[in-house]
Structure 1
Amino acid sequence: MSDFNPHTIRPAFPALATQVQGRPAVFFDAPGGTQVPQMVIDAISGYLTHSNANTHGAFLTSQRSDAVIAAAHQAMADLLGCSPAEIIFGANMTTLTFALSRALARNWGPGDQIVVTKLDHDANVAPWRALTERGVTICEVEIDPTDCTLDMADFAAAIGPQTKLVAVGYASNAVGTINDVRRVVELAQQVGALTFVDAVHYAPHGPIDVRTLDCDFLACSVYKFFGPHVGCLYGKAEHLHHFQPYKVRPASDLPPECWMTGTQNHEGLAGVVAAVDYLATLAPTPQTDRRSALLAAMTRIAAYERGLAERLITGLLAVPGLTFYGIREPERFAWRTPTVSFRIDGHTPQAIAAALGEQGIFVWDGNYYALSLSERLGVEQLGGMVRVGLAHYSTAEEVDRLLEALHGL
């Protein structure tokens, strides 16, 4: 049982005081972007007040900007378990992935293959599909629609000597499934293929160690784990030196700078540092360093959210006419995040989301850019699904309020 108490940290999030019709708003929209603590807001405004300048100048505010950027690289390195020189920042995960796909594929063409999955967000599909213009072929791995898990036998069969890269999500942003990423990496390594992991949805829900995963690239978005709109990409140092990014001529030829196109979002990077520092404060006991604190904090978050997800899913399965998508057995909850999707007979997902929104309960409807999954489940033409996404600031009382509202439909 988790010792985490969300009520102790909720005052740190100003947005959670929002009210709708005299009642506190329920933010179950976390998979689309989490709320941010005051310390992140303060860091962003503090940068703009005291450090706002471009980089590498011979004056104080520019030097402060350089320090903020260096601190952001170190913070994300601590979160992911790598070197600061292996961290790349950009506008968002999608933009970074499109840029990386073009750089990796400079010499790819007919006869080369990329493996993607039907479970992924399209940001980990479309950038690779775009390479079909160069003659690259795409193989899409199937899922088991009964629980929305990857068909690992199909995965193994898809990877072969012609495979250049395997793109897989750490966790599904639509139905919460956590994939066996380490096994996928092993399959790719057997044929010498690269691995790209989309950890956008997983990052707020559990610890990440890129060294243990041994993946070649891993992407995430800071606004999904309590920070500002900044994208982050980890790449093994050997790859960042070997592959050639597209860049402007005067820019540095050395990684990670050569991979970060144009002027970065400096105030956003100040928020990155604060977001990582916030997560570190959630460690249950004092730790010797930030990396250790982050591992302890994310493990603690995962345990709390697992219990909350069990309460949510048990309640949803008791709603008349509800079709549930994804893992539902409590003994398998280590393989899911607290993100669930469903449909209810007689109600469109949009109508359900609107009805809940009027009551101050914020959920998503549609396909959430997990287009291949929505099509595979046969719901794309029906308006997709309703998605409820919990975070560590979510409470049991809020879950019960949602369930009561759904029964009221």
Structure 2
Amino acid sequence: MQLDTDFVRAQFPAFQEPALRDKAFFENAGGSYMCRYVYWRLRRFYRERKVQPYAPYHASLLAGDEMDEARERLARMMGVSTDEVSFGPSTTANVYVLAQAFGQWLTSGDAIIVTNQDHEANTGAWRRLAARGIEVREWQIDPQTGHLDVDALKNLIDEKVKLLCFPHCSNVIGQINPVAEICKLARSEGIFTCVDGVSYAPHGIPNVNKLGADIYLFSGYKTYGPHQGVMVIGRDLGMLLPNQGHDFNGTTLYQRFTPAGPDHAQVAACAGIADYYDAVYAHHYKAGRDGAGRCDCVNTLFQAQETALMQPLLDYLSGRNDLRLLGPPHAKDRAPTIALDLGRSGEQAARQLNAHGIMAGGGDFYAVRPLAAMGVDLDQGVLRLSFVHYNTQQEVDRLIDALDQTL
């Protein structure tokens, strides 16, 4: 089965927008295009249902039902219970709230493990727990490859460790970490896990139940949806941690880590992400499957498309001697988020690519720790080229052509 990219691109209004039509979008890691289902739901909510939800009148009931639908359908996609899914203004905000909860629950002398492969969103708030007397241990990457070695993790574990925070993949290194293996190891030692899936989920929203993560986080605006952070937290852990929401919401799992009122319209519009996955599934398959099964099939289509696009680009980059490719050179080992150390300003290179109709980014992308660990000059940063399943071979060829002229 091969992904029908013509069908896929027809689901995204951006590709019909005249101002974007002649541009090739390679900064998807900063935020993907929004699919039309999310756009429709968001517009409808603001037009017809912009009222306080869950009140006993028609518009309000519709608003509440649509918010519930988003939670239910995303939960089914990820193989978890509905109340284990909660929304927040961003993943950074969700991590901050979690860190406050763990800070109240942990005691002085307890330890947590973080990595220096992370985007700052899933490491900064955890590291601040040191001010509360919590020991913070760092699982460090290989400075040449950016790889996280599981054997090195084992050397950090003892009876003091209560929590392990790590990324599904880095937003500059791109290597996909063996999440299920790591979570199984942590669980065998009585350690909770918090997995940052922001850079992985755009390439396939995972079955969190199968991964075995206690907490899994990703961003809706990078998975074809609105600007919301999506968080899965297992019921046992979620009810164990101190409530961070209003006191009267303390018995409802998905409200315990939402200190402020949710953005009703954007929460409701997240159901459009599930609409999109279902539309892709229905276009390519006939057999009926449950939400997680459909999601898995669509993920396979997405990843096959991305792998086919990525390897020629990686081969081209590996053949140059005027840049350093961060992360694995093989498409099967990574996500298509490709950072290049050019020995000069990555932002300047991105501006030069823009003259060729290539939309890309340059800088540190809040990944200061992994870039510094790998010896990248932070003042110059990296050029980042990131794409997803809706990109095409023609766009990759155009990118390679532009890189030839720019580099």
Q: How high is the TM-score relative to the length of structure 1?
A: 0.94
Once the 2 structures are TM-superposed, how far is the Cα of residue 309 of structure 1 from its aligned partner? 0.8
1:289 corresponding residue in structure 2: 290
Say if 2:301 is the partner of 1:300: yes
Alignment-mate amino acid for residue 328 of structure 1? P
1:326 corresponding residue in structure 2: 327
Distance in 2 between residues matched to 1:270 and 1:214, nearest whole Å: 27
Distance in 2 between residues matched to 1:252 and 1:63, nearest whole Å: 23
Once the 2 structures are TM-superposed, how far is the Cα of residue 55 of structure 1 from its aligned partner? 2.5
1:379 corresponding residue in structure 2: 376
Once the 2 structures are TM-superposed, how far is the Cα of residue 238 of structure 1 from its aligned partner? 1.2
Distance in 2 between residues matched to 1:270 and 1:403, nearest whole Å: 39
1:9 corresponding residue in structure 2: 8
Once the 2 structures are TM-superposed, how far is the Cα of residue 203 of structure 1 from its aligned partner? 0.8
Q: Tell me if the contact between 1:371 and 1:380 (Cα under 8 Å) persists in the aligned partners.
A: no
Distance in 1 between residues matched to 2:122 and 2:276, nearest whole Å: 28
Distance in 2 between residues matched to 1:254 and 1:173, nearest whole Å: 33
Distance in 1 between residues matched to 2:378 and 2:173, nearest whole Å: 18
Structure 1 unaligned segments of length 5 or more: list them: none
Distance in 2 between residues matched to 1:244 and 1:23, nearest whole Å: 49
1:238-278 deviation per Cα after TM superposition (whole angstroms, max 9, x unaligned): 12222222223344532122332232112112221011210
1:220 corresponding residue in structure 2: 218
Distance in 1 between residues matched to 2:249 and 2:73, nearest whole Å: 24
Gap change, CA 1:277 and 1:23, over 3 Å in 2: closer
How many pairs align? 403
Once the 2 structures are TM-superposed, how far is the Cα of residue 12 of structure 1 from its aligned partner? 2.1
1:183-206 deviation per Cα after TM superposition (whole angstroms, max 9, x unaligned): 211221232111001111111212
Gap change, CA 1:189 and 1:227, over 3 Å in 2: same
- Please give the secondary structure, in 2, of the residue aligned with 1:128: helix
Distance in 2 between residues matched to 1:382 and 1:100, nearest whole Å: 32
Once the 2 structures are TM-superposed, how far is the Cα of residue 69 of structure 1 from its aligned partner? 1.4
Alignment-mate amino acid for residue 285 of structure 1? Y
2:252 corresponding residue in structure 1: 254
Q: 2:41 aligns with which of 24, 40, 43?
A: 43
After superposition, the CA RMSD in angstroms is 1.8
- Please give the secondary structure, in 1, of the residue aligned with 2:218: strand
Gap change, CA 1:383 and 1:79, over 3 Å in 2: farther
Alignment-mate amino acid for residue 91 of structure 2? M
Alignment-mate amino acid for residue 343 of structure 1? D
Superposed, which structure 2 residues align to 1:122-271 within 5 Å? 122-251=120-249, 253-271=251-269
Q: How high is the TM-score relative to the length of structure 2?
A: 0.94
Alignment-mate amino acid for residue 285 of structure 2? T
Distance in 2 between residues matched to 1:363 and 1:314, nearest whole Å: 19
Once the 2 structures are TM-superposed, how far is the Cα of residue 101 of structure 1 from its aligned partner? 1.4
Distance in 2 between residues matched to 1:67 and 1:396, nearest whole Å: 41
Say if 2:360 is the partner of 1:363: yes
Q: Tell me if the contact between 2:110 and 2:160 (Cα under 8 Å) persists in the aligned partners.
A: yes
Structure 2 unaligned segments of length 5 or more: list them: none
